[in-house]
Structure 1
Amino acid sequence: MTPTRIKWTLFIVPALVIGGFETIRHTLLEQALPMELGNWITALIDAFVIALITRRLFQQYVNTEKELGKERESRAVFEERERLVKVLHDQIAQSIFYSGVQLDGAKKLAEQHGDKTLKVKLDDVHLSLREIDENVRQSIFNLKHNTIEAVNFEDRVRSYLNNTLSARQISWDLQFPDALPLTPWEQVQLFGILQESVTNVIKHANASTILVSLDVQETNPAKWTFRVRDNGIGFDLDAVRERRYGLDIIANRARDIGAEILVESDNTGTSVCVRH
């Protein structure tokens, strides 16, 4: 029933019901039904009829509020993505470019002074800076083009793994449930965690396989576990305590969605687990 039909029904039906009851009350029940009791019965009938008619209207109102809440949440995610794109482009990318120009100048000076050791070190720094620049530009591209509304989360993850790992001869598997109980903001943070985890695997793990999975509790869909597991050489968590920027980024993203992070690693591989 449309809102317009509900409105007209709300105007007409109670009047007809009350009018019919009052007619019966004053003709057939005038002697049997006391005046005060009849007034109370009339009020109860009126309330019951109105509640019955407006139940559908209130249900539509509740559904509309839910849809508006999802739309506001998606809009907030979109605005955050736009802000991040601006920060990455206007601040970080330009700073990297300026640093590269300065580094080229330092390399020329090293060549002029014949300092080969310094030039080798500067070349290493230049390669690292180029890698950072590529990662930043890829992040900008992902933020601008991989919108949640256009592609669902599973397809985004599948596309990312295929584009990132297939060219590097790293096999991968994806295990997701049919229904994903994830909010848009949770999807953004989990995708960032996936990117950081895969980058670490490519750089350090020497792995041949990566498994990405999402397990959801049947009794409570709000409880889920997101896991990225590789079969690489692993690492010592204590040994990288001073160089754990990637792990800190993952932990911060998990904290932003109210989840906890668990990292386990040994000589059979590494597991990054996010529990909500």
Structure 2
Amino acid sequence: MRPADHPSAPEGWGRAEGPFSGRGPLPPRARLLLPVVVSLVIGVGGTVFQLGGLRMWGLATWHPVVALAFAVAGPLLLLAARRYPGPTVAAVLAVTVADVLVQPHVVAPFAAAAFAIVLALARGARVWTFASVAGAWLAGLAGLSLIGEEWPPPRLVATTVGLIVALGAGEFLRTRRLRIRERQLLWQRRREDAAAEERVRIARELHDVLAHSLSQISVQAGVGLHLLDAQPELARSALESIRVTSRTALDEVRSVLGVLRSDDPSRSATVGAADLPGAGRTPQPGLSNLPGLVDSVATPTMTTSLEGDIDLDLPPATQSALYRIAQESLTNAVRHAQASAVVVRLKPLPGAVELTVSDDGVGLERTEPGRGMLGMRERAELLGGTLDVGPTEGGGTTVRATIPRRRP
């Protein structure tokens, strides 16, 4: 692992992320070499131009090879800026100060120093950058004083303004990088939350469909076996019920799985499975399906009945939630209640509708809610409603769901 990639690396040695992290319109190698080439061209070209002017005026200067070496050293050090932005800005500024002290009459355009400052700040090496700039500035002024040289005020002001501009540009890029990163993390969290919600929704749908259908199949299979010899016609009716229930369950499972195969997964958390392309084998169940649901769970030992008006003007999502809550409640009654009668009631309320499923069975035995109970509560709460489960007067269990007519 590279030092820049280590999660515990110090500031400035850390991961190179953001606008200069290798992600953008230019290839990573081009983004690495662009500052090097630009600063090299500016530095070498400016140095050669000034050396020619100094020789024309007869001003003493160092050998041209030394001046060109300083002009080349800074840009070459930028090659390490991606992995080590902090040490790179310190090294480039050290070369810049040495260049000023060795040949104070060569006013080289220190493009490498500006690039090093901007790149280091953009990559988060703030301590390295500010400490290096302050140290280089003080060292340069002190060094010039010791060798008896003095910068003219225009050059001093221009250098100061250049450093401030470079620091400002670096801070701007750093802030922009952080904002982009925050937006990326927020988007990632939203995607993860949406995926988690969709997994819960699919699990809830599969549980409701499979638990109810398998419970019906189990009950009807038991009835068929019991009546096979004594009353074969009733046994045939039970087998027919198993066939219909299996086919319905298969269609509903296909509808739920159609969500996973959809070409537009972003819609799956907000629409029903039957609304998605490739999923519309069966419509989402509503209140019009309640009579068939109630009749389908009746057995020779348990009667079922539906009371209330099913022709209510409710949104499809509300109707589907009421249907699934009734379905799960009836499934629990068949599997656990040992009831002789189950009554499903629909009652309009001001701005809401109330569904109750009551049985005369053995009552609640579990202290912790199961998956089905959690699924019913989630369905009600997602639409701004409530769900209560408690004992029925005289024995048994009552499930009561109250859901607003319109989502709040």
Normalising by structure 1, report the TM-score.
Answer: 0.43
Q: Which has more radius of gyration?
A: 2
Normalising by structure 2, report the TM-score.
Answer: 0.33
Higher relative contact order (CA 8 A, sep 6+): 1
Structure richer in helix, relative to its length: 1
